[in-house]
Amino acid sequence: MEKYILEMKGITKTFPGVVALDDVSLKVKSGTVHALVGENGAGKSTLMKILTGVYEATSGEIYLDGRKLDLYGVKDAQEKGISIIFQEFNLINTLTVAENIFLGRYNDSQYINWKQIRTKAHELLERLGFNFDVDRIVGTLSTAEKQLVEIAKALSYNAKIIVMDEPTSSLTKKEIEMLFPIIENLRSNNIAVIYISHKLEEVFQICDVVSILRDGKIVGESDINNITRNEIIEKMVGRSLDIEYPKRNSVLGETVLEVKNLSRNTKIKDISFALRRGEVLGIAGLVGAGRTELAETIFGVHPADGGEIFIKGEKTAIRSTREAKEHSIGFVTEDRRGTGIVIDMNIPKNITITKLNAVKNRWLLDKRKEEAVASEYVDKLDIRTPSVNQILNNLSGGNQQKVVLSKWLFSDADILILDEPTRGIDVGAKYEIYCLINTLVEQGKAIIMISSELPEVLGMSDRILVMHNGTIKGELTGEDMTAENVMQIAVD
């Protein structure tokens, strides 16, 4: 019998009306990286929230190092050796690295021995293989560096288990390559890492064991060497996925959007390109290359201060989001919860928000018309929801994203800008979004797709623009659209 550092036994968690976890057991060994995968809503985060003391399990037990654990909140879990690093970091941007690592537990006495704290912080970072100025203000650090600070913080609690929730979702390729040695380092320090990710390549690259959750149950657990990528996907979605990127038969039509020498202060410089009906134009580049900024400029979130925009051959100045909408542009933002949906509103209200005039009688909004519109899109886009009037908060990420798409389709947008359209949604829903993109371009819409996932851009685009430092540094078509070529251009 091998010894497990962590054993979660028979964990069940019910919320009013819903069973989120159903008799889940998870065993993790020290010095392993244990992947936890599953579609959104499968129960990964609920399970991890129970492990880190955020939620209390309805039933079931947790054993750490053979001893039964009762957790009273995140802080308590941390002190007992279980740390979690969320996608959004728990760091105070205005304080220094050292201050953040030891936040709230500087000293036992009344006075803070800063020198000692800085030395200790330095030591922790060195243990991770980094020589780092601990006096730097956290707000000035890159995402990867902040993550490093979070890991150091976990180490400072003598963490035996570190949970990483989608650690690479906001990192660039280069930063990811920096993160993996750190994880290796944790492994060799005999720390157990629970690694939650949607990116299966990473799971195969870094993890030792994988557990698969579906609908609140563990549906599979295996050594990473004894399972294939397709087997994992099958278990996650409960069906097999043959092709990752569906084919389409679209015909390129006339140019609908043309941008000439577009600039906005230092964010984007001298951008020119044209977009045709029936086309998916991919925009690749590293984080910070100006891709989102370009989208925001075209959509009038931050209007351009130089250059010209032509829509369907007509020169137009887009000074606000309203004007962009009137020129039949739609913008699916990268931050779905923050800028895509009103989380407390129901599906009809979220969809009709872009064109309330269409669901209005002379004076009043017509609830039945709104519901009819919503039903139409629920059917068309296969939005999975118990009822049309569901609040968005109760939908999964993929279905929320379909609602965002619906609202722009409802506004009659011909030009759709999709910024990270599949971020944070599960494999099955991703595939559906790809199919949907294909259907749309086949109907003659034009799509600009910004994505940090290289395979996605390569698989979905007719043409790829690679951005770097606010400019378009290269354009790739046909045979030249390879990952190597994109990265060559993107990194300098």
Residues within the interface to another protein (CB under 8 A): 14-20, 41, 215-216, 299, 301, 321-322, 324-326, 331, 333, 338-345, 349, 352-354, 356-357, 360, 363-365, 386, 393, 407, 411
430 phi/psi in degrees, rounded to 5: -60, -50
Q: Which residues are CB-contacts of 212 (< 8 A; sequence separation ≥ 6)?
A: 37, 38, 218, 219, 220, 221, 232, 235, 236
Ramachandran class of 423: left when φ > 0, alpha when ψ lies in -120 to 50, beta otherwise: beta
Q: Which residue has the tokens 């979660």?
A: 8
Q: Which residue has the tokens 């005039």?
A: 357
SS3 state of residue 221: strand
Q: Which residue has the tokens 């371009």?
A: 441
- Find the shortest distance in angstroms from Cβ 323 to another protein: 8
Specify which residues 437 forms β-bridges with.
none
Residue 63's alpha-carbon distances to 22, 82, 141, 189, in angstroms, are 18, 12, 36, 21
CA distance 320 to 298: 10
Count of Cβ atoms closer than 10 Å to residue 269 Cβ: 17
Nearer to another protein, 140 or 357 (CB): 357
- Find the shortest distance in angstroms from Cβ 210 to another protein: 23
- Find the shortest distance in angstroms from Cβ 329 to another protein: 10
- Find the shortest distance in angstroms from Cβ 358 to another protein: 10
- Find the shortest distance in angstroms from Cβ 330 to another protein: 10
- Find the shortest distance in angstroms from Cβ 160 to another protein: 27
In order, the DSSP letters of 95-131 are SBHHHHHTTT-S-SSSS--HHHHHHHHHHHHHHTT--
Nearer to another protein, 89 or 299 (CB): 299
Nearer to another protein, 21 or 62 (CB): 21
- Find the shortest distance in angstroms from Cβ 87 to another protein: 14
Nearer to another protein, 176 or 365 (CB): 365
Nearer to another protein, 34 or 44 (CB): 44
**Contact in structure between 309 and 258 (CB atoms under 8 Å):** yes
b/e map of 347-370 (b: 16 or more CB within 10 Å)? bbbbbbebbeeebeeeeeeeeeeb
- Find the shortest distance in angstroms from Cβ 19 to another protein: 5
In order, the DSSP letters of 379-405 are HHTT---SSTT-BGGGS-HHHHHHHHH
Nearer to another protein, 102 or 331 (CB): 331
Nearer to another protein, 241 or 365 (CB): 365
Nearer to another protein, 15 or 72 (CB): 15
- Find the shortest distance in angstroms from Cβ 489 to another protein: 30
Across the beta sheet with 314-316, the strand order is: 268-276, 255-264, 306-311, 314-316
Q: Which of 145, 134, 55 is nearest to 96 (CA)?
A: 134
Nearer to another protein, 100 or 333 (CB): 333
In order, the DSSP letters of 40-76 are TTSSHHHHHHHHTTSS--SEEEEEETTEEE---SHHH
- Find the shortest distance in angstroms from Cβ 345 to another protein: 6
Nearer to another protein, 126 or 326 (CB): 326
